[in-house]
Amino acid sequence: MILFLCFSLCKSQLHPIPAKIDGFVYKKPIVWGESVVVEAFLDPVCSDSRDSWLPLKQAFDYYSGQLSLVVHPVPMPYHSNSFTACRSLHIANKLNSSSFYPLLELFFETQEKYYSAPTYGLSRAIIVADMTKLALTVVGESFSTAFQSGFNDSSTDRAARISFKVRII
């Protein structure tokens, strides 16, 4: 971890402290001191993350009121399209905050087509266009232009990196 931090500093990739705590709260706001907070680090195109999502939701419902759930979208480096998927989630949240969880679930349902092998011959532009089309079904079609611009907005790139770094620290 020390090496990692050093690398970040040397590469001048030190980001400002985020404006708020990282992560997306599931359903109910956290009441600090009242409930146990479970922080889940999920990769939208990872099968293990997908498989853990239903049990996590069941635990949340079972311990209703005693458990808070916070999801951090984390792009694992060995899933080639994960960073784009995580960035889509941040763009979705920025445009329509109700769409974060519907989009996460949509990624879990359709993630196989974004695995590294089936997309080997596809350009990043094609993946971005495909994920945009997918996302708009839950974000709202009226956000089409804004969603595409979201991929050129450095704040969504930064947000996707921060979740990844939080996992390491």
**Nearer to ligand NAG by C-beta: 47 or 149?**
149
Tell the smallest beta-carbon distance from residue 36 to ligand NAG (Å).
27
Of 12 and 152, which has the nearer Cβ to ligand NAG?
152
Distance CA 33, CA 68 (A): 11
Which ranges constitute the DSSP H helices of 17-123?
A: 47-62, 82-95, 100-110
Question: Which lies closer to ligand NAG via its Cβ, residue 26 or residue 79?
Answer: 26
Kindly tell me which of 39 and 153 has the beta carbon lying closer to ligand NAG: 153
DSSP at 43: -
Number of H helices, E strands in the chain: 7, 3
| Locus of tokens 């804004």 | 146
List contacts with ligand NAG (CB under 6 A). Answer: 96, 98-99, 102, 138-140, 142, 148-149, 152
Provide, rounded to whole angstroms, the least separation between the CB of residue 161 and ligand NAG.
18
Question: Minimum distance between the CB of residue 150 and ligand NAG, rounded to whole angstroms?
Answer: 8
Q: Which residue's C-beta sits nearest to ligand NAG?
A: 140
Q: Provide the minimum distance between the beta carbon of 127 and ligand NAG in the complex, in angstroms, as a whole number.
A: 14
| Minimum gap (Å) between residue 53 Cβ and ligand NAG | 17
Task: Dump strand ranges (E) for the chain.
Answer: 24-25, 36-42, 67-73
Beta carbon nearer to ligand NAG, 81 or 96: 96
Residue 120, CB-side half-sphere exposure with 13 Å CA sphere? 2
H helices of 13-99, in order, are: 47-62, 82-95
